[in-house]
Amino acid sequence: MSENIIAILPELWLAIGQTLLMLAIGLSAALFIGGPLGVLLFLLGPGQSLENKPAFLVLNWIVNTVRSFPFIILLVALVPFTRVIAGTSIGPLAAAVPLSFAAIPYLARLVEQCLREVPKGVIEAAHAMGASELQIVWRVLVLEARSGLVLALTVLAVSFLSYSAIAGVVGGGGIGDLAIRYGYYRFQTDVMVLTVTLLVVMVQAIQFIGNTAARRLDKR
């Protein structure tokens, strides 16, 4: 282990914790807001039980608009709002605000696509049996699409791990911040290699856990 790496070990553990914190906040926001939003998009869509074209077009436009922003631009554009929410524009908590904003529509779209794969006959059968919309969502849609939903959350986690590294460029903290400050500005190649390796390992771990969970939930 090189002297450079030994010197940054305390900061490295802190950076890993900051990255996991940003990821946890962003994924939680996506799960609790983006998930229901995706279900609503599906239910309001053409041919569905709550079909409402104006409402669907508005929600669809909002989701597409937020998703069209490159993350680095969204991060900068939300600085005033971030200051209001987090009290600061730097640090992992501040970076978690734009991460959450980006994660919500991202997961909403993935959830909508997963639910579209549920056979329409299954939904119609549930309606014929007198099931309420809430029962259909929980006992039919989510149950039938659970494997795909887990994979969608896995894709989101992997994508936003890289977004959290981008947040380090503007003082968001985490592994990306460490890579920029030591690996790039101080030309410490060994630190840069270490941070990249850590990100690769984290991505592989997230993907493995997601694939394993999805495989166990898939009853087909």
pLDDT, position 1: 60
In this structure, what token pair is assigned to residue 154? 């896995």
DSSP class per residue in 82-116 = HHHHHS-SSSHHHHHHHHHHHHHHHHHHHHHHHHH
pLDDT, position 219: 66
Q: Which domains does the chain have, with CATH numbers?
A: 3-217 (1.10.3720.10)
Residue 133: burial class (beta carbons within 10 Å; 0-12, 13-18, 19+) = middle
Share of the chain above pLDDT 70, in %: 96
More confident residue, 22 or 167: 22
What is the arithmetic mean of pLDDT over 171-177?
A: 78
48 pLDDT band, cuts 50/70/90, is confident
In this structure, what token pair is assigned to residue 12? 């490295």
pLDDT, position 107: 94
In this structure, what token pair is assigned to residue 18? 């900051």
- Under 8 Å between Cβ of 176 and 167: yes
Share of the chain above pLDDT 90, in %: 36
Half-sphere exposure of 110 (CA within 13 A, CB side): 24
Of 47-61, 109-123, 130-144, 168-182, which gets the smallest average pLDDT?
A: 168-182
